[in-house]
Structure 1
């Protein structure tokens, strides 16, 4: 599948510029060779007004301040915030989820840390 040339040259703008651009044509990329939809699908950066906030359904999100739930919390936060394609991208074979998450927190950007803190504050507000 051929992908249209983006209106914004990838090398000429920062990721922040691309995300906030109002250009009609959006940057796009092909899926990895071997992906089962690589011949029929591609990914495109959405315009800001067309982005969505995911609402997680199912069991309650674990809290980071409850010791027995911290491994589950670590596992889920890595899945949500660390880019990955396989489990080995999230943690090493003999590594605990908590160890991998602690390592990730030292390398992720401030925006992710702020989101993690806000999630915890939401839990604490529900307690009061």
Structure 2
């Protein structure tokens, strides 16, 4: 990629070791709620499971996070949808205690 302005000082490399992203702050919101909590859930799921470089890759200007999730959910692979479902069950169990 010699045409890139930073090609002499930057590189792209595939990680050798797997890493797990850790969300800091409050627990992941629930998707079965309405309003603000569902918006927060949709934003978190898109950030974790949809490839992106800029926020515009996730949602267009003026679009809600829920609408962006509804539009992009078909791009989430089945194995990732299974992980999302497990995350939702974990949240339901925590709330039931």
TM-score above 0.5: yes
Report how far residue 38 of structure 1 moved.
5.1
Q: 1:40 to 1:96 in 2, by over 3 A?
A: same
Structure 1 partner of 2:23: 56
Q: 1:76 to 1:33 in 2, by over 3 A?
A: farther
The structure that has the greater radius of gyration is: 1
Structure 1 partner of 2:11: 42
Report how far residue 41 of structure 1 moved.
3.3
- Whose strand proportion is higher, 1 or 2? 1
CA distance in 1, matches of 2:23, 2:85: 17
Higher relative contact order (CA 8 A, sep 6+): 2
Structure 2 partner of 1:82: 50
Instruction: Please report the TM-score for the alignment, with normalisation by the length of structure 2.
Output: 0.78
Where do 5+ consecutive residues of structure 2 fail to align?
A: none
Report how far residue 62 of structure 1 moved.
0.9
Pairing of 1:1-128 with structure 2 (within 5 A):
33=4, 39-47=8-16, 50-68=17-35, 69-128=37-96
CA RMSD of aligned residues (A): 2.2
Where do 5+ consecutive residues of structure 1 fail to align?
A: 1-29
Report how far residue 40 of structure 1 moved.
2.7
CA distance in 1, matches of 2:49, 2:4: 24
